[in-house]
Amino acid sequence: MREKLTSAGSAALHDYELLELYLFRSIPRRDVKPIAKALIAKFGDLGGVTTAPLEQLTQMKGISEKTAAELKLIQALSERLAREQVIGKPVISSWSALVGYCRTALQYERTEQFRVLFLDRKNRLIADEVLGRGTIDHAPVYPREVVKRALAHEASALILVHNHPSGDATPSQTDIDMTRTLAEVCQPFDIVLHDHLVIARENTASFKTLGLI
């Protein structure tokens, strides 16, 4: 499989084979193919495996706390690499990379998370903060707290991002009402709300594209 990976690239390998190669480094002297297949079967795909909670990973046969932590390292590296593609860069010219970063961070989250991307006058990303964590279908959002953080960062514009663990990226009426309220609160401070992205497992909805902003 190593030869196949180096000669033909990762596309030539199944998800479980890539996972098998990774696990072999953490679990030596053991056939890890059944473990890799069991993980994919349980969590759906590589993304599901690496974003699964530690306690769920260690419940799997053959997965120690050490191995589970190393699997979580993949998630951390993926998020860091995606962030490096957008931080300090104009979001308009790197929009696909920005959406990719948001999806990497949120598409596998099991509860709602509300994040705000803060932009400077040149629309460069200067900060990304989680300002709300919630349940399977709700994360509390406080518009005045968003504005407070924007002023602290001296941000000129914002992009809101939250996820729908249900799998449906369609904005809810609550999402729409909250976004409009936040846009109104931002106006007196000359802070522009560029977009609100809703991340689901398979797709992403943009308020701007949908004509909601």
Q: Which string of DSSP letters, residue by residue, matches 46-115? A: HHHHHTS-HHHHTTSTT--HHHHHHHHHHHHHHHHHHHHTTBTSBTTTTHHHHHHHHHHHHTT-SS-EEE
> Which residue range forms the structural domain that includes residue 29?
2-80
Answer yes or no: do 57 and 152 share one domain: no
Tell me the two tokens of residue 191: 């802070």
Task: Give the rounded distance of the alpha carbon of 93 from its chain centre.
Answer: 20
Q: Does residue 211 fall inside a structural domain?
A: no
Examine the domain organization and report whether 9 and 97 are in the same domain: no
Tens digit of each residue's pLDDT, the chain (213 residues): 666 666 666 676 788 888 888 888 888 778 888 999 999 999 988 888 988 888 999 999 989 999 999 998 988 888 888 888 787 778 777 788 889 989 988 988 888 899 999 999 999 999 999 988 875 555 677 888 999 999 999 999 999 999 999 888 999 998 999 999 999 999 999 999 999 999 998 899 999 999 998
Alpha carbon distance 38, 33 (integer Å) = 9
Give Cα 10 to chain centroid, integer Å: 22
Whether 125 and 86 have beta carbons less than 8 Å apart is answered as yes
Domain C-terminal end among 43, 60, 80: 80
Helical axes 95-106 vs 65-84, angle rounded to 10°: 160
Work out how many domains the chain is built from and give that number: 2
Using DSSP's 3-state secondary structure scheme, residue 14 falls into: coil
User: Is the pTM of the predicted complex or chain greater than 0.85?
Assistant: no
94 and 65 part of one domain: no
Q: Which of 26, 48, 80 is the last residue of a domain?
A: 80
CATH code (residue 167): 3.40.140.10
